[in-house]
Amino acid sequence: MARVLSLFRLQPFLALVGSKNPRLCKMSMDSRAREVFAAAVEAVQPDTVVRQSIECKEDSVIINGQRFALKHNLHLVGFGKAVLGMAAEAERIIGDHLVKGVISVPHGIQQTLQQHGKDNLLLKENSCIKVMEGAKHNLPDSDAQKAAEVIKQLASELTEEDLLLVLISGGGSALLPAPIPPISLQEKLDVTRRLAGAGATIQELNTVRRALSFLKGGGLAHYAHPAQVIALILSDVIGDPLDLIASGPTVRSDMWPEEVLSVLERYKLLNSLPASVKEVLGRPGPRWRENKDETDKAENVLNAVIGSNSLALNCAGRRARELGFRPVILSPGVCGDVRSVSRLYGLLAHFGCSREEPPPEIAAEVLRLGPEVGVESWDLCRTMQVLGEGRTEGWGATCLLAGGEPTVELTGNGRGGRNQELALRVGLEMRGLQLPPKGPVFLSGGTDGQDGPTEAAGAITDGGLYEEALAQKLDINNFLTNNDSYTFFSHLSAGQHLLVPGLTSTNVMDVHVLLIPPIPINIR
């Protein structure tokens, strides 16, 4: 009797999530997955996140709950792929209190935005913000270095009466290269490339990169002292660590040469360093000790993350609920090899679609994979509990959401990126499950709209992928071996599985969407 009563109590919930909505019944699972992804991207548009973070009131501006006096004393600098749109919105809000600005943005971004009709992300014609384009192919170059020098000059001229608004987004590190003389830009790039090739972690790379740079590791805030510095950050790094996003130009990091030398020694690069790098690392540390007094520097810097993968997932969850799903956020920090990540999603799909209690081996393997893919055991247990309750209590369809940045081991020279390869591998893992709408759908997409050197952001797949490819004489294993997921999805059903949102103007890593249909309730 209690079992029957629980079903009656659930009816209001089922009506709430839209199970009776005729419009939703006509939408395919594929379409709903795309809408959930679109909601995630929309939530972190550069103008949107700035508009939600800055409140201007006559002679003051409120940012992150703190009020700052405006006396036509605000200067602006920025660097990153999304910074042009951030700067345009900031100028609209602040008005004539903005005295001067310089931003370093990717080569060709203004023309691209114009072609896509995104005028809201462009500066007005009489803007006082200077736009400098550089970093072709997301690599630091001479144009980006010139922009960094202009930004440094602007910051160095500020007084204690001034405010410096710093806008930062993904790609900012390449757009703000300022090697410490006599190190050349090419020498610094060679050192960091060799470190990356040797397997150095992002923390180790940044330790070296900051030590060889004027503006990274708090350098920009140092040159802006004694002005008040306010940094608004659109994060593209797992966990939103302030010192790693664009290498932390507004986050104080004391660089000791001994620490940097130990990293270089670990990867056997000490003996092959350029003479200029050895000279800089041979100077006594920390690097700021000889420079101007900064006893109050910490009080003069406010760092605020205004857009992140977590924000995108939360908004995607709200859209999923509107589309008839119960949203469950697994984690915004999924990482590790795509093979392990795809195995995890495949197991969760089988777990969630099982009509009976799944065998304990599935849950055990899910928990074993957790540490490999950056997901806490607690989050995995919570997710499996919700999926289990959905099956036994009849909660209807579920939308499992996650984000992060998995990695791909390159074994070939094909076209594609981590999202398309992840979708391809998850499709294989879901082999044997029913087809939509009775079976699950998986989507993986990069919020920057580009997955590898392709126009696709990712792909959508389901349990019928293997049979679909077999019928069209496409050898999945060959495509995977050659890291050629884009070519595979382009040929599969004339590219219908590809996710191609176009220019997104933002970047908060990747979004993963696993839609699990309602499981019929067995009342015994």
The CATH number that applies at residue 242 is: 3.40.50.10180
pLDDT in tens, 204-216: 888 898 889 999 9
Q: Provide the token pair at 470.
A: 């077999």
Query: What pLDDT, on the 0 to 100 scale, is given for residue 522?
Result: 59
* 387 shares its domain with 460: yes
* 165 shares its domain with 276: yes
Query: Tell me, what CATH number does 428's domain have?
Result: 3.40.1480.10
Least confident window among 107-111, 229-233, 281-285, 508-512: 281-285
pLDDT above 90: percentage of residues in the chain: 78
CB atoms within 10 A of CB 86: 34
Query: What pLDDT, on the 0 to 100 scale, is given for residue 58?
Result: 81
- The domain tally of the chain equals 2
* 319 shares its domain with 423: yes
Query: What pLDDT, on the 0 to 100 scale, is given for residue 293?
Result: 52
| Paired sense of beta strands 66-69 and 60-63, if any | antiparallel
* 408 shares its domain with 464: yes
pLDDT in tens, 359-396: 999 999 999 999 999 999 999 999 999 999 888 777 78
CA distance 358 to 514: 18
Cross-strand pairs, 402 = 331, 512
pLDDT above 70: percentage of residues in the chain: 92
Give 296: exposed, middle or buried? Use CB within 10 Å, 0-12, 13-18, 19+: exposed
Answer for the pair 10, 394: CB distance below 8 angstroms, yes or no: yes
CA distance 413 to 509: 23
Instruction: Out of 245, 276, 307, pick the residue that ends a domain.
Output: 307
Query: Looking at the predicted structure, is the pLDDT value of residue 259 above 90?
Result: no
* 197 shares its domain with 318: no
Answer for the pair 142, 185: CB distance below 8 angstroms, yes or no: yes
pLDDT in tens, 81-116: 999 999 999 999 999 999 999 999 999 999 999 999
Note down the domain range covering 352: 309-518
Q: Is 141 helix (H, G, I), strand (E, B) or coil?
A: coil
CA angle 104, 77, 70 (to 5 degrees): 160
